[in-house]
Amino acid sequence: MVAPACRRRCTSRVNEFPESAMPEIGPLRDDELSLAFSLKQEYLDDSPFESWQIQRSTHPDLFLAARVDGHAIGICYGWPPDAEHVSADTIVLQGIAIAEDFSGKCHGSQLLHAFESQATGTATPIWTGPRRRRAGMADLPWSGPSVRNWRIRVWSTSTASSTRV
């Protein structure tokens, strides 16, 4: 089980929001690219669009969007690492962001779980490196102003374990 405290908290809070407010999560569509890139630039990093688009075209199943009423409100994406300190059979969660107006409603957690499911299909571990939490980023219970590491190892399509590092 991944992040049990977060799942319990989010599961209990899900009933607070109307069904229409729950996000639909699926692959990032071409018509959402500019909005998704804007979220990435605002909340995550300022790497160039071209390099981000190359990774998306290479790993489209690892670029997800959360939508409320058909509008993208969050993104989550990753790809295999290019760094030596992470094994080549690993998927690296490069970024996850929820628009500030929709933060605090567990949409980021749901997006993270969807990403885990997608990466599980690749039968490789997932590694989320150090990230600094800012307004609009995934609502993980231990997130705060300091840098934290979160490592998720997916061993098979039916089993997952996680460790906070």
> Per residue in 7-60, pLDDT tens?
444 544 444 444 445 788 989 999 988 888 888 888 787 788 888 888 888 888
> Per residue in 92-117, pLDDT tens?
788 888 888 887 877 888 888 888 88
User: What's the DSSP call for residue 82?
Assistant: -
pLDDT for 131: 46
pLDDT for 46: 78
pLDDT for 64: 92
Structural domains in the chain?
A: 4-14+23-164 (3.40.630.30)
The C-alpha R_g of the chain, in whole angstroms, comes to 15
Secondary structure of residue 157 in the 3-state scheme: coil
Kindly state the helix (H) or strand (E) to which residue 143 belongs, with its residue range: none
Enter the pTM of the model.
0.61
Contact 117, 156 (CB under 8 A): no
> Per residue in 52-98, pLDDT tens?
888 888 888 889 999 888 888 888 888 877 766 656 667 778 888 88
pLDDT-derived band at 142, boundaries 50, 70, 90: very low
Cβ atoms within 10 Å, residue 17: 14
Out of 76-85, 131-140, 152-161, least confident range: 152-161
How far apart are alpha carbons 163 and 159 in whole angstroms? Answer: 14
Contact 140, 6 (CB under 8 A): yes
pLDDT, the chain, mean: 66
CA distances to 25, 56, 92, 140 from 95, in Å: 16, 13, 9, 14
pLDDT for 93: 83
How far apart are alpha carbons 77 and 63 in whole angstroms? Answer: 4
For residue 158, which amino acid is it? S
Kindly state the helix (H) or strand (E) to which residue 149 belongs, with its residue range: strand 148-154
Is the pLDDT at 120 greater than 60? The verdict is yes
pLDDT for 20: 46
